[in-house]
Amino acid sequence: MKNKRQWIIGIVGAIIVILAGIGWYLGQHWKSIIQTKLEENIRTSTKGLYKLSYDSMELNLLSGSIALKNIELLSDSAVYRTQVQRREAPDNRIHIKLRSLNISGVGVWSALVAKKLHMREVAFDHADVHLITESHAYNKSRDSIAMPLHERIKDIFHTVHIQRSMINNLNLKLSNMQNGRLDTTSVDRVRVRLDDILIDENGHRDTTRMVYTKEIEVEIPEFAYDIPNSVYKISFDHCIVNTRQQQALLTKIALHPRITKQKYFETDKQNKAMIVLKWDTLRLEKLNLQDMLDNQRIFARYAYLKGGSASFHKDKRYQEDNVNKIGQAPHQQVMKMGQTIRFDTVFVDNTDVSYHEYSGEYDREGSISFEYAKGTITNLTNDTVQLSKDRFMRADLQARVMGSGRLHARFGFDMLSKVGSHTYAGTLGSMQASAFNRILTPLRNLEFSSGNIHGIRFDMQATDYKTRGVFRFEYDEMKIDLLHAPKDDTEQSKKGVLSFLVNALLIRDSNPGADKVYLVGNVEYTRVPEYSHFKTIWKSLEQGIFQCVGIGKGAERETKETDKKPEEDSESKNFLKKTGDFFRGLFKKEDD
């Protein structure tokens, strides 16, 4: 029994040695054949544009494994220029440098006999890929339907199937040549996984696949991009995209200037607010990646923005309202984008929005904040096909004004309107008026000494040129203090007599007042062309506020007293009118 066992072991060992020897011999024989075929096919299919080289190849036909080291696939610039002259050059060139390529589980027999190439795994490691795009007019005039990949390789293989392919540590550089200028974007340390790649006569028609692949997952650990012709850059800490799940997730995404705040305001000639946007996560669901690849459109059913901030900054020491802002509302800017987008619903959650302005007159910064903002934006798109079905983008948002009063606002934007038609309506819950001192005192040099806001309601219809609507404002115990000009860091003193006169003669301390009269603002605001969209909204609401507190014309007396007051003589009326006109000027900024 022992001798029999030794014989079996010896025979098996001998077979292994013989097979290994045959495998080694075939490997050495086939290595030169494979190398020759590779170089020949690349040279022929690209008309001599590309050249392949590598340091070494390890081939084991028995196990079906191939390993290459230090591979390079480079284009010949001289050949490319010749092809350009002959109007034969492609729009895209690619340069590849690869530390190692490992292929395992190759079905050698089926590849040789049936021309069906099956591979269990293809792994690329430390790849440097440079894609250069240089568009040529003659390529646009050719048949737009590209030849399927199967047609290009059918003389070599009828079918190519790869169970899984991994690309680790991919450094990708994308260069676009336009008008003699080369713009380059780089992404480093990318990881790519491709599952179930099938190239056959029906592969390009399989709607369950993208680029012949059942599932593609791309992971980018970090990215920063300087936006061309802009002072801004966009960045994120991590991004992962999955084609099977139709999802994309980005973390710590941000849009911010590349220059300092001071430099921004010193160089700004368009009177634009400096913008800083940050979100913890941006998640896209039902993302149409195939359409993105084919048509360069970004379509997603759902987008989720969570945990972030949006701050806007202006500095009146440098910026003036001297640039026409007609046609620059947010919805109009969406329509002007060079990139086609469509998001059916955008969910916003836990986002702080703030506006900061530095006063050139009082040398201080005031701010207003809308905290814990949440809500939805629907039909966010500039796709005219979709807008022909529903032309309105809508927003339904809630926030805490100055961290206190609950604001609920609803916006509607006619995306196809030639005059920027839009609507906005909302309510503000109870809060203390003094919360607004954070913006009033630095910018207007006044403050609320007291005041209880019980509620605000507004409903406005607007275009690029006009705003009309109704404004309701309920409050009581409202008093203001006019302040002396600030001196250094000392506490400001109030103008006692002037403040008393304003409160006594001009401002209604409550609405409805002690006389039971309730003033309703009837807004009829004509836009100043140099005012931004959001400043125009504020000016429209401000007109309603002024009417409700008694210092603006046009208010409606919704409820009248039952007892008629004695009619004032003409001299008293004239005095009050002049006094009112004087004090109204105190509430106007120099640039109004």
Q: What percent of the chain has pLDDT over 70?
A: 86
pLDDT over 60 at 568, yes or no: no
pLDDT over 60 at 394, yes or no: yes
Q: List alpha helices for 347-431, DSSP H.
A: 384-387
Evaluated on CA atoms 431, 432, 437, 438, the torsion sign reads negative
pLDDT over 80 at 318, yes or no: yes
Q: What pLDDT, on the 0 to 100 scale, is given for residue 28?
A: 52
pLDDT over 60 at 325, yes or no: yes
Q: What pLDDT, on the 0 to 100 scale, is given for residue 559?
A: 57
pLDDT in tens, 44-55: 777 888 888 889
Q: What pLDDT, on the 0 to 100 scale, is given for residue 345?
A: 98
CB 261 within 8 A of CB 274: yes
**How far is the first Cα of the chain from the last one, in angstroms, to the nearest whole number?**
109
What band does 133 get if pLDDT is binned at 50, 70 and 90?
Answer: confident
Averaged pLDDT, 417-423: 97
pLDDT over 60 at 193, yes or no: yes
What band does 212 get if pLDDT is binned at 50, 70 and 90?
Answer: confident
Mean pLDDT rounded to a whole number for the chain: 85
CB 483 within 8 A of CB 499: no
CB 172 within 8 A of CB 187: yes
C-alpha torsion angle, residues 473, 479, 485, 486 (rounded to 10): -90
Q: Are strands 446-462 and 466-482 parallel, antiparallel or unpaired?
A: antiparallel
Euclidean distance between CA atoms 35 and 38, whole angstroms = 5
Averaged pLDDT, 58-74: 85
Residue with token string 């904040």:
369
What band does 584 get if pLDDT is binned at 50, 70 and 90?
Answer: low
Select, from the ranges 2-6, 72-76, 254-258, the one with the highest average predicted confidence (pLDDT). Answer: 254-258
The beta strands (E) that lie in 359-391 are given as 365-381
Between 219-228, 238-247, 492-501, the lowest mean confidence (pLDDT) is in 492-501
Q: What pLDDT, on the 0 to 100 scale, is given for residue 351?
A: 97
Cβ contacts of 506 within 8 Å, gap of 6 or more = 550, 551, 579, 580, 583, 584
SS3 138: helix
- Give the Å distances, CA to CA, from 328 to 272, 332, 380, 394: 11, 6, 16, 18
Q: How many CA atoms lie within 13 A of 522 on its CB side?
A: 7
Q: How does 280-314 read in b/e, with b if 16+ C-beta sit within 10 Å? A: bbbbbbebbbeebeeeeebbbeebbbeebbbbbbb
Q: How many CA atoms lie within 13 A of 250 on its CB side?
A: 17
C-alpha torsion angle, residues 420, 458, 541, 442 (rounded to 10): -120
The residue that leads in pLDDT, 29 or 42, is: 42
Euclidean distance between CA atoms 356 and 358, whole angstroms = 7
Euclidean distance between CA atoms 240 and 192, whole angstroms = 10
Q: Are strands 341-358 and 298-315 parallel, antiparallel or unpaired?
A: parallel
Euclidean distance between CA atoms 400 and 246, whole angstroms = 34
Q: From the CA atom positions of the chain, what is the Rg in Å?
A: 35
Q: What pLDDT, on the 0 to 100 scale, is given for residue 590?
A: 41
Between 181-185, 501-505, 520-524, 559-563, the lowest mean confidence (pLDDT) is in 559-563
Question: What is the pTM (predicted TM-score) of this model?
Answer: 0.84
pLDDT over 50 at 589, yes or no: no
Helix (H) or strand (E) segment spanning residue 39: helix 2-45
pLDDT over 80 at 58, yes or no: yes
Cβ contacts of 486 within 8 Å, gap of 6 or more = 362, 363, 364, 445, 492
Of 539, 367, 380, nearest in space to 460 by CA:
539
Q: What pLDDT, on the 0 to 100 scale, is given for residue 108?
A: 77
pLDDT in tens, 80-131: 888 888 888 888 888 989 999 998 998 877 877 778 889 899 999 999 999 8
Evaluated on CA atoms 581, 582, 585, 586, the torsion sign reads negative
pLDDT over 90 at 582, yes or no: no
The encoded tokens of residue 573 equal 């009326």
- Give the Å distances, CA to CA, from 457 to 316, 440, 577: 31, 21, 28
Q: What percent of the chain has pLDDT over 90?
A: 55
Averaged pLDDT, 362-382: 96
- Calculate ∠ Cα 230-232-234, nearest 5°: 125
What band does 19 get if pLDDT is binned at 50, 70 and 90?
Answer: very low
Euclidean distance between CA atoms 307 and 34, whole angstroms = 55
Q: What pLDDT, on the 0 to 100 scale, is given for residue 145?
A: 53
CB 190 within 8 A of CB 170: yes
pLDDT over 80 at 177, yes or no: no
Q: List alpha helices for 118-217, DSSP H.
A: 137-140, 149-153
Averaged pLDDT, 502-509: 88
Q: What pLDDT, on the 0 to 100 scale, is given for residue 70?
A: 94
- Nearest 5°: phi and psi at 209? -115, 150
pLDDT over 50 at 17, yes or no: no
Between 144-148, 210-214, 314-318, 470-474, the lowest mean confidence (pLDDT) is in 144-148
Between 31-40, 129-138, 409-418, 469-478, the lowest mean confidence (pLDDT) is in 31-40
CB 112 within 8 A of CB 37: no
Q: What pLDDT, on the 0 to 100 scale, is given for residue 76?
A: 87
Q: What pLDDT, on the 0 to 100 scale, is given for residue 5?
A: 42
pLDDT in tens, 242-287: 999 999 999 999 999 999 999 999 999 999 999 999 999 999 999 9
What band does 491 get if pLDDT is binned at 50, 70 and 90?
Answer: low
What band does 401 get if pLDDT is binned at 50, 70 and 90?
Answer: very high
Euclidean distance between CA atoms 69 and 100, whole angstroms = 5
Q: What pLDDT, on the 0 to 100 scale, is given for residue 6?
A: 44
Of 442, 428, 385, nearest in space to 545 by CA:
428
The encoded tokens of residue 199 equal 């190239």
Q: What pLDDT, on the 0 to 100 scale, is given for residue 585?
A: 53
Averaged pLDDT, 29-54: 76
pLDDT over 90 at 142, yes or no: no
The beta strands (E) that lie in 495-535 are given as 518-526
What band does 22 get if pLDDT is binned at 50, 70 and 90?
Answer: very low
SS3 266: helix
- Nearest 5°: phi and psi at 97? -125, 125
Q: List alpha helices for 56-185, DSSP H.
A: 77-85, 108-113, 137-140, 149-153
- Give the Å distances, CA to CA, from 317 to 229, 490, 534: 25, 22, 20
Q: How many CA atoms lie within 13 A of 569 on its CB side?
A: 2
The beta strands (E) that lie in 483-539 are given as 518-526
Of 372, 369, 392, nearest in space to 380 by CA:
392
Tally: H helices and E strands in the chain: 13, 24
